[in-house]
Chains A and B, each alone.
Chain A
Amino acid sequence: MGYLISILCIGASYAIATLGLNLQWGYTGLFNIGVAAFFAVGAYTSAILTGPDWGGMIGGFGLPYPVGLAGAVVFAALLAYAIAFVLRLEFGFLAIASIMLSTVVILIFKNEMWLTNGVWGIGGIPRPFGEMLSPATSDWVYTAVALGILVGVYFLLEKGVRSPWGRTLGIIKEDPTLAEMVGKDVYKWRRTSWIIGSMYMGLAGAVYGHYIQYINPRTFDDVMITFLCLCMVVIGGSGNNKGSILGAYVLWGTWTVSEILTGFLPEAWQLRAPFVRVLVIGIAIILLLRFRPRGLIGREAAISKMGERIRTGRVE
């Protein structure tokens, strides 16, 4: 039963992050592999703002939950703004820059004791209504909160992409030259999408942090979060918000269930299990891309124009 809560709640936070990634990638064509950076910044910011005094590091603000969330979102946005200039350049540079960002941010979190307590992490992150409820009830309540947030941001996003704003974004993604000719500042549009997407990821991190109530740099390390989010977008089909949520839950559900199942395996196998899981996911993604790029319910994968052909020596 506890697992159900965990799946619902953590799934929700991944879903929020995936929505953000989907905005950046599915709707705007930006490849972000630094999801973990924004996720981590969101989690830590919210924790620091709402948490008690841990001694030896900044904190002790004890601000209410919504302020924590707001802080998470703001800082994530700032971080996104800082490297936004890379959006002007070739597509691949963003991928690299985002992963560099992720690495450096995690590095800072690992090393700067005064900021994050380093590798020891911070525990006892409070929940809204936390003191008033028993742990079990608190879990339920918080899951409801998380789901509420998920639903809220989902509708916000849906409204956004169906509006003229979303349509312009679509044109910019499919045919930037056309968009420029009509007078749209492609860079500014991409930047907006980039920042909003990052804000979602920051929010997701905060939601996550308050659920598990203990975070350290290792939680966000190793690209796993980024990879999972990417997979979730692919599974759900890029450019499809419902798909992102579906993909998030499908993947996270599978992940957790496989964790439960491997718990029954003998000791020797248990150590290897996580890697087998990653292997399977990796292969699944490759196969999915190869045979069903649309994902489970996504739209048709865009065929790029002639000019972007990878070297085949032919014109098709």
Chain B
Amino acid sequence: MGGWIVSGLVYGSIVALGALGCSYVLLIQRYFNFTVAPWLALGAYFAWTMKQILPQWGGVELVIAAIVSMVALGIAMTAADKALFKPLRDRGAPFMFFYLTSFGLLFAVRSIIWLIWGPQPKYYYPGASVGIKGPWGIMVTPAELLTLIVAVVVVVALYFFQYRTKLGRGMLATAQNPMLASVCGVEPETVHTTTTMIAGFVTALAGILYGLTIQIRPLMGWFILLGIFVCVVCGGEGAILGTLAAGYLVGIAEEFGSNLIQIPLNFWGVPVEMSAYKVALSCALFLVVIYFRPQGVWKGTFLER
């Protein structure tokens, strides 16, 4: 049972990080950025390559690789935004164009990944991880522990950025009332740049942690993309704490849900393997949430922020 909780929280942390990037883009730029799937993979792969190049420093090389990758992805996403999406913004294109371009870009980036790195899965540290024994006898690997901590740290940092810094508040203002924000002196393109840079940072981080706790493979982003969207919707757009909480919700729903449902299924001899359907549980959660509370599960509570 405890193992389920840990797996759920770890997976949820990764999903939440990916979702934060999407949530920001949704808040400021008003579309679901599908491209985040291969971007996430790109972040993981890029860090992997960096790590191969750097000398072994007992783990520090991964940190450096991670930071470089985060910055690189931020730049890449911002460049793509300026080159492809800004023209659409400026001419007032309908939303569909954003989705389509995002999709086209998804395939472009994905094929680049395939061409450069090939289809074989890769690992940061090949070989099984040694678990540490935590409270209640639950086993966690160092990678999992790192993931849990990093997610919380990032969320706290983003929260402070959003609500305590001038630029952060400017972004909130732009989301609520772009015209008035510009009249107050907020530069719209600066807001967009910040949005895509932050999205790049957290997405790369999500990819690296995924690669660390599971594996790196070309379609990794796609596998968790659905979970990310569920998380964005449950968390409420632009909600930072809410997104992390929603991530945990998604992670636990998948882990717990699949395991719990498996019990009666086994009991009645129904030959269905729930573990294959974990993502279906997220989808079910999504449908329920958009039907009853499309503004986000936590609306009206403190997790709204």
Contact = CB atoms under 8 A, between A and B. Distances in A.
A161 to B, nearest CB: 18
A98 to B, nearest CB: 11
Q: Which 7 A-B pairs give the minimum distances between C-beta atoms? A: A313-B182, A282-B108, A282-B107, A279-B111, A285-B104, A313-B188, A100-B283
Given A104-B279, A309-B92, A227 B103 contact: yes
A92 B31 contact: yes
B92 A283 contact: no
Contact of B87 (A83, A282, A290): A290
B90 to A, nearest CB: 7
Interface stretch (B67-75, B94-102, B207-215): B94-102
5 contacts: A100-B286, A282-B105, A286-B101, A303-B94, A308-B95
Contacts of A110: 276
A57 to B, nearest CB: 13
A315 B103 contact: no
Contacts of B257: none
A83 B286 CA distance: 12
A283 B98 CA distance: 14
Interface string A205-224: 00000000000000000110
Interface string B224-263: 0010010001000000000000000000000000000000
Contact of A282 (B28, B29, B106): B106
Nearest to B28: A311
A147 interface: no
Contacts of B277: 104, 107, 111
Chain A facing B: main interface SS: helix
Interface string B184-219: 001110011000000000000000000000000001
With a 10 A CB-CB cut-off, give which of B26, B101, B103 has the most chain A CB atoms: B103
A82 B253 CA distance: 23
Interface stretch (B12-20, B57-65, B151-159, B173-181): B173-181
A179 to B, nearest CB: 17
B99 A95 contact: yes
A101 B219 CA distance: 18
Which of A86, A103, A104, A310 counts the most chain B CB atoms within 10 A? A310
Interface stretch (A10-18, A73-81, A270-278): A270-278
Interface stretch (B42-50, B123-131, B287-295): B287-295
A58 interface: no
B221 to A, nearest CB: 12
A285 B178 contact: no
A316 interface: yes
B53 interface: no
Given A100-B226, A103-B226, A293-B93, A282 B186 contact: no
